[in-house]
Structure 1
Amino acid sequence: MENKTGKYFKYAIGEIVLVVIGILIALQINNWNEQRKEKSLEKELINLLITDLEEKKDENISDLKNSDGIIQRFQRSTDMWDYEEKIDTTSLKRNLEILGIDRYFQNQSSPIYSGLSSTNLWKQIPDSLTKQIDKVYRIRLKRVGVSFDKLTEYGTFCRLNFLTPNDLMDLDRDTDVILQKLEPVKKEYILNSKLFISGKKRLRVSLEACANEIEDLIENLRQYNETK
């Protein structure tokens, strides 16, 4: 009886050990699965962030090209005045139209960034990377937005203080008629054009810096995802 009891006891202990080992293995497998899911989710969110950044970079580059074209157009007109004291009639209508634009817009919202920065996964991303992400969204894109706002304000100013008082809003008329309206205020027109060029150049600097930093960030995010 004592031998049988000892055998049963050892058997029971063995069963308990096996059960415990099985539970530990199951927990470990579950942890591995959870970590795998978490890493997969993190990579997916990072990829979504990269897509968002690529869209913003493309928008910046498009705005940059547009700004370059407008700067060149206005620069030709102001150069003609500076060197020949003549009004560039080939770009007159378009320049007057651009001076009065007061609806500049840049999409700064980013649900992906807002969502990612409020999750626990954000804490797992290296500080150097989160700081770079914050800099792009909270500083660089904001500066671009401020530059657009300034141009909007200047467009409103030109409409109210130059274009409307001098009857230069109606651009469907012949160029000769518009030129006659402009004749008494030619110098003011050139001054407004030069101020507009200055604002566009400031916007260009912000756009270029933002596009470059976005490109660097995208590369760093891709390298980080490859290590996951």
Structure 2
Amino acid sequence: MSQTASYAIVGGTSGIGLALARILVARGDTVRIGGRSPDRLAAALATLGGRASGQVVDTGDRASLAAFFAAGPALSGLFTPAASYRTGDFRDGDLDTSEALFQAKFWGQYWTVFEALPHLLPSASVVLMSGAASARPIGAPAYAACNAALEGLARGLAIELAPIRVNCLSPGTTDSDLWRARPADQREGAYDHWRRLTLVQRPAHVDEQAHAALFLLDNGNMTGSTLFCDGGYSFR
């Protein structure tokens, strides 16, 4: 990748997205980050320095997405980890944990790529984000289905958008801002459960997930693939 390459991260104000932004800036790239919270956006930009810019963006609003990309440069890469959703059981019949989940996580990324397309260079790379429940569901079937749909979307887009490359990162439980903001007993209970389910016996670090996303952005021979950065969860 060129040292002057430009990237966009929709969902870049915290967690894996912010960790990737830090890596890109540190190696000399420019990064445009987006998120829904003005306060988080300002805080993230303050840590990234002059090679980063940003704008408030809502993945549920295509006009917001279009404005985000129109205000930035031509892009060498796009990462789309932004999503806010709840999961739940099928028997609950809850729209928030079924249809709204798809609206936030699947359609949010779908329309993000669509609105970014006029601004992607022919050599660009797109990385979607699913989750390891696609391969090994434990309850929450709509969540499993949504993640699997994103992995299918990556394969379909890789064909239609070529030579633009499209891949998908599928993380497992990750020690992130999201989990650290939850009550300690809830967080540690989830982490203990994850340790029993994985081969590496621990949650991932956000930097590990960010480096996995970076690999998919950088490797010119990777397209239509899903990379499971889940500590062996998906096949144990």
| TM tier relative to shorter chain | under 0.3
Bigger proportion of residues as strand: 2
TM-score after normalising by structure 2:
0.23
Q: Greater share of helix residues, 1 or 2?
A: 1
Computing the radius of gyration over CA atoms, which structure comes out larger, 1 or 2? 1
Higher relative contact order, chain-length normalized (CA < 8 Å, sep 6+) = 1
| TM-score in terms of structure 1 length | 0.23
